[in-house]
Structure 1
Amino acid sequence: GYEDGEEMSFDELFYVVSRIKTVSELPLSVDLEAGYGATTSHIIDNIRRLAHLGVSGINLEDSHVVDGTRRLDDAERFAVKLQEITRACPGLFVNVRTDTFLLNVQDALVQTLYRGQLYAKHGACGFFVPCVTRAEDITAIVHHVPLPLNVMCMPELADFSTLSTLGVKRISMGNFI
């Protein structure tokens, strides 16, 4: 496999997705990382290529890996890009990943709530918060962000039944499969 951070080319990703779609009619969501493009129009072109294959959703991150270090994008600039993407690609489920907890930013919960509300206003369909583990934080996100919450399986994370009770709608296994 490849490390996170768009280490594989988009053409390689496209090939893998096209192979999956030839053998499965199940709805398919693709981890598009930061979009595999330097400009919003390039990202939109990539998404349209995937949609043409029949992809029903994507994950899109609000961070980039630069010189081996993941860095959080400016929330407002990302929201504008997100809005352009969702307007250009209607009908596609866009699950936005925020890396506030993953990067252990100061005031991670406050930043997460702000970003979640902002992204909801700019077209996000779902909200993925990897590395959030505390029930209090999960509850706050569910109550204050008007999007289905996706969390990532972590050793400290509550069991699936508890997560369901807290309002989590999707659990990504990440490296814990």
Structure 2
Amino acid sequence: MDSHEARFAEFLAAHRGPRPLVLPNAWDPASAAALFAAGFAAVGTTSLGVAASNGLPDGEGATRDATLDLARRMAAMPGLVTVDIENGFSDDPETVARTARDLADLGIVGVNIEDGRAGGTLADPEAQAVVIAAIKERCPHLFVNARTDAYWIGLDDPLERSLERAARYTAAGADGVFVPGAIPDADVRTLVEQIDAPLNLFFVPGRHRLDDLAALGVARISTGSLLYRTAIGAAVEAATTIRDGGAPSADVPSYQDVQAWSLPS
């Protein structure tokens, strides 16, 4: 078993454990290194975090270079890395598959690819299945997490749409299915029961607890842009607290810690 195959098997097994895989999402090398240092065996990227931190729009294919640059840096870190490639940064299946191959060659273990499109629409499911099949043909040991956005966009009949698309995507070779959005527990149970692949959800603060999602059968929990947005919120709160005469929490990483994370050995 070569290294790609071994890492793929390790990552796949992490989706079939007794508890869900909690996958935090980084937006730069320091945040990724900090998460690995905190003991996470696998770390993903957040497309919003990568886009916003580079002054680019999310979900419009503008972050390909920034995403690949972050992937190169994270690939050198001691853990498993999965990368959000939005819609693949192209409408051409072979171009998307080449991007996936480039990531796999770096040692990246997985990708998220979404079917949501600008303007609140979804990609044609047959065309999306062709893209997924092209990735798996070139990269059989890359974990393809196929995201379908009916709940996220707020379309009618999201459960039926999600199940139909999940069936097409898994038939095309997807290793996991990602259904983001505010999803009723009853729908989550149905998704788990009827999708022939591990189910990934976003963690929604105030709605979700790890144990509850585990009881529903969810295999993977992603933080998405939550950590990035939390970091910005904490920074603004600290600044305004100082401005208003208070003292922000001293319980933060040290200068030396962040320097080490930003320049990993």
What's the TM-score once normalised by structure 2's chain length? 0.62
Moved over 6 A (4+): none
Identical pairs, percent: 34
- Number of residue pairs aligned between Structure 1 and Structure 2: 173
- Larger helix proportion, structure 1 or 2? 2
Check whether the contact 1:101–1:108 (CA below 8 A) recurs between aligned residues. Answer: yes
| One-letter amino acid of the structure 1 residue matched with residue 203 of structure 2 | C
Other-structure match for 1:17? 71
- Larger strand proportion, structure 1 or 2? 1
| One-letter amino acid of the structure 1 residue matched with residue 67 of structure 2 | L
Other-structure match for 1:43? 96
Higher-Rg structure is 2
| One-letter amino acid of the structure 2 residue matched with residue 110 of structure 1 | E
Deviation digits for residues 11-60 of structure 1, max 9, x if unmatched?
221111111223x1311100011001231111111111111110010001
Where does 1:23-172 land on structure 2 (aligned, <5 Å)?
24-65=77-118, 69-155=119-205, 157-172=207-222
CA deviation after TM superposition for structure 1 residue 75, in Å: 1.1
Check whether the contact 1:133–1:156 (CA below 8 A) recurs between aligned residues. Answer: no
Deviation digits for residues 111-151 of structure 1, max 9, x if unmatched?
11111111111100001000143110000000001110000
Take 1:162 and 1:9, find their aligned partners in 2: how far apart are those partners?
34
Any unmatched runs of 5+ in structure 1? none
After superposition, the CA RMSD in angstroms is 1.5
What's the TM-score once normalised by structure 1's chain length? 0.91
Take 1:78 and 1:8, find their aligned partners in 2: how far apart are those partners?
20
